[in-house]
């Protein structure tokens, strides 16, 4: 039986600074934290190659929010979004790379 995942409110990256982000690690297992870090690094590479955005689901002290933007860099503890906005990795629950127009065009061209 499939579960329906509820959508979270989407905010602009510029609104992140106004949020009180969770200081606690939101992922319980080391395996999940490792997978999150790998997905963030993949998002950086996808941004460099295809200018792809990523959907980031993260925790604040009040609620779960989403932001969709380009991930420029990943450090040991933070994610750097376009425009110099940072987000602590520990508050990130999910990362999903969005298909860019250029990568979709490459897939379509390879099918012809």
Residue at 52 is within a domain = yes
Instruction: Kindly report, residue by residue over 41-78, the tens digit of the pLDDT.
Output: 999 999 999 999 999 999 999 999 999 999 999 999 99
Query: Mean of the per-residue pLDDT values for the chain?
Result: 89
Residue span of the structural domain in which 56 resides: 13-111
User: Which stretch of DSSP H or E encloses residue 102?
Assistant: helix 101-111
Residue at 8 is within a domain = no
Total-model pTM: 0.84
Residue at 7 is within a domain = no
Q: What's the domain count of the chain? A: 1
Instruction: Kindly report, residue by residue over 34-46, the tens digit of the pLDDT.
Output: 999 999 999 999 9
pLDDT for the residue numbered 98 = 94
């Amino acid at each position: 039986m499939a579960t329906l995942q509820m959508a979270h409110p989407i905010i602009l990256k510029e609104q992140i600074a106004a949020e009180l982000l969770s200081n606690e690690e939101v992922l319980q297992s080391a395996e999940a934290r490792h997978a999150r870090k790998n997905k963030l690094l993949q998002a950086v590479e996808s941004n460099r190659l295809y200018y792809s955005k990523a959907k980031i689901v993260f925790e604040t002290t009040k609620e779960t929010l989403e932001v969709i933007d380009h991930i420029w860099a990943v450090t040991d503890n933070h994610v750097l979004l376009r425009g110099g906005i940072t987000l602590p990795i520990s508050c990130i629950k999910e990362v999903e790379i969005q298909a860019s127009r250029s990568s979709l065009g490459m897939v379509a061209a390879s099918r012809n």
